[in-house]
Structure 1
Amino acid sequence: MDAHPARYWHLLEDGRLQCDLCPRDCRLHEGQRGACFVRKRVEGKMVLTTYGRSSGFCIDPIEKKPLNHFHPGSSVLSFGTAGCNLACKFCQNWDISRSRDMDRLMDTASPADIAEAAVRHGCRSVAFTYNDPVIFAEYAMDTAQACRERGVASVAVTAGYIHPTPRQAFYAVMDAANVDLKAFTEDFYVHQTGAHLAPVLDTLLYLRHDTAVWFEITTLLIPGLNDSTPELSALCHWVANELGPEIPLHFTAFHPDYKLNALPPTPPATLTRARRIALDAGLKHVYTGNVHDVAGGTTHCASCGMALIERDWHRILAYRLDAQGACPGCGHLLAGRFGSAAGTFGARRVPVHIGSH
């Protein structure tokens, strides 16, 4: 399964093959791989070299993705492959996303295998995560379709760096997404990720205005690089004005890693300041991550302010919603996907083996 025909490419007049999946627009000679490493030109066509191969499967709480408004407390079967179409100097999963070792991909599983495993383990959803599912779009979309046929939801954890045509097909089979908005300046995107800001904003606007996909946003705050008050204020006002005040925004703490291991970790006070800036900008659901912060993990009613879901890290402490996902105090419907009770998976992380037989 490791040399699957890829979509989204065309041949150029000079004989090179151009990948049309993401804005990198890699142009390849025979035998070359794209910047993501996993898409390769073979015999004049493009193939996905990691189709059906994973760096491992784990069952996580959905809050770890992070998604706080998508079936809280439920379990999600999570997996990734190798490679990435961004080059973030601060990558927190760099051993997977920057991997050039195909032997790391020990678990082999078809889309049907994954859907079956999710059902067998009682997972409400499957998450494409750890590295960006955009680069293994064919595998992710086939898996999402197999999951949909079994009544299992699909979640994309992504940087949102994708061209409009594949974006439409990709999100047509997704039920939820967490989009990593890494900063709010072009300078940061160019110098810290090797990418551009505008395509990510386009993806967020597309999700909000052209799909029914539930999505939340995460910004990793890196000391001195993307945590200034003016930048955070601009980001939060853009989200409130362009996407709406009830889109959840997560500010998470950076820990030194990969090429930025000389920087200090994010102080808790920075997360508290960012959350206050977002609330002052009109956002209703603002969370802090990678820290123990009950206040920053609590979901409040956007209308009356009642505490509806209280959390500590990935653990739900209290859940106060009716069967329609409405506030018991004022009846306002909480934005997201909810039921009358939270799931009971808790804060566990359970590695599982799925392999094809």
Structure 2
Amino acid sequence: MSKLECNVCHHHCKLSENQTGLCNARSNINGKIAAVNYGEITCLALDPIEKKPLRHFYPGSMILSVGSFGCNLKCAFCQNYEISMAKKNDIKTQHVEPEKLVQIALDFETRKNIGIAYTYNEPLIGYEYVRDCAVLAQKNKLKNVVVTNGCVNEEILKELLPYIDAFNIDLKGFSEKFYKNIGGDFETVKKFIKTAHTRSHIEITTLIIPGENDSEQEIINLSEFIASLDNEIPLHISRFFPCHKMKDKNPTDVKKVYELAKTAGEKLKYVYEGNC
């Protein structure tokens, strides 16, 4: 049988029957590309909205956070690698249909829950589940939040945009070289940010990794890009701690985080230091 192309992200994996793509979550099944992680939940928690992080979207509220497995990037510094790098049979999951997830979210309304956040792994490689849950959530007057790396093709984003109230987008660095090293696509994520900003509330997060993306010039370029869209888009400058394949690297110096946040603040109105 001929191979089928997956069009969710920049990799455009060409898959034979029963073959799974780079993300470990999309396969060629019976002549159709499908998300094998649909409804397969690895994490479920009620979190403060600020933990996403979102500082300007219903501050003080809670949100039901849900994650599956798989990711289309291969970041050596991933903090959730146990699930983001996992394959279907590598990790224990619980199947939760959209109707059930929305009901759980509604049950938590008495605890200040405003909706559902699709997070922990890369949620948009299984965008069908996000879409189906978000449609139901919206009908029940719940908010939908997506925490994403933004390396997803524009057609997928446009299908979801009518249902997503807020995004936190990881802008992991600001160079072609950095994105190439993590298996991403710099232009795709920039386009994603521009498009998401037209319809939804967005906030940006950048993890500062010593010797990787911590130059002053890179932060100047990054903040200028965000400001070109809107200088009131919040930026979260986050401190790196050793993990995954970077356990031998030192944590980011706290002083460095504050210095870069100050630099970004010359272009942006709202810059927040994280993990300090």
Q: TM-score range by the shorter chain?
A: over 0.9
Secondary structure of the corresponding residue to residue 265 of structure 2: helix
Tell me, in whole angstroms, the C-alpha distance in 2 between the residues paired with 1:216 and 1:96. 24
- Does residue 54 in structure 1 map to residue 41 in structure 2? yes
Greater helix content: 2
Tell me, in whole angstroms, the C-alpha distance in 2 between the residues paired with 1:207 and 1:56. 25
Alignment partner, residue 271 of structure 2:
286
Secondary structure of the corresponding residue to residue 127 of structure 1: strand
- Does residue 125 in structure 1 map to residue 115 in structure 2? yes
The answer to whether the 8 A contact 1:23-1:161 is kept is yes
Query: Aligned in 2, Cα 1:124/1:37: closer, same or farther, shift over 3 Å?
Result: same
Tell me, in whole angstroms, the C-alpha distance in 2 between the residues paired with 1:136 and 1:289. 28
1:77-156 to structure 2, matched below 5 A, reads: 77-102=64-89, 104-122=91-109, 123-156=113-146
- Bigger radius of gyration: 1
The answer to whether the 8 A contact 2:13-2:22 is kept is yes
Secondary structure of the corresponding residue to residue 204 of structure 1: helix
Secondary structure of the corresponding residue to residue 95 of structure 1: helix
- Does residue 214 in structure 1 map to residue 212 in structure 2? no
The answer to whether the 8 A contact 1:56-1:105 is kept is no
Q: CA deviation at 1:103?
A: 5.9
Alignment partner, residue 259 of structure 1:
245
Q: CA deviation at 1:17?
A: 0.3
- State the AA in 1 paired with 2:18: G
Q: CA deviation at 1:203?
A: 0.6
Alignment partner, residue 69 of structure 1:
56
- State the AA in 1 paired with 2:190: L
Tell me, in whole angstroms, the C-alpha distance in 1 between the residues paired with 2:88 and 2:99. 25
Tell me, in whole angstroms, the C-alpha distance in 1 between the residues paired with 2:264 and 2:30. 51
Q: 4+ runs of 1 displaced by more than 3 Å?
A: none
Alignment partner, residue 323 of structure 1:
none
Tell me, in whole angstroms, the C-alpha distance in 1 between the residues paired with 2:88 and 2:247. 23
The answer to whether the 8 A contact 1:79-1:128 is kept is yes
Q: CA deviation at 1:102?
A: 3.3
- Does residue 270 in structure 1 map to residue 256 in structure 2? yes
Q: CA deviation at 1:87?
A: 0.9
Q: CA deviation at 1:104?
A: 2.6
The answer to whether the 8 A contact 2:39-2:96 is kept is yes
Alignment partner, residue 6 of structure 1:
none
Aligned CA RMSD, in angstroms, stands at 1.2
Q: CA deviation at 1:262?
A: 1.2
Q: CA deviation at 1:56?
A: 2.1
1:13-52 to structure 2, matched below 5 A, reads: 15-52=2-39
Q: How many residues align?
A: 273
The answer to whether the 8 A contact 2:261-2:272 is kept is yes
Secondary structure of the corresponding residue to residue 121 of structure 1: helix
Tell me, in whole angstroms, the C-alpha distance in 2 between the residues paired with 1:171 and 1:29. 31
The answer to whether the 8 A contact 1:56-1:107 is kept is no
> What 5-or-longer segments of structure 1 have no aligned partner?
1-13, 292-357
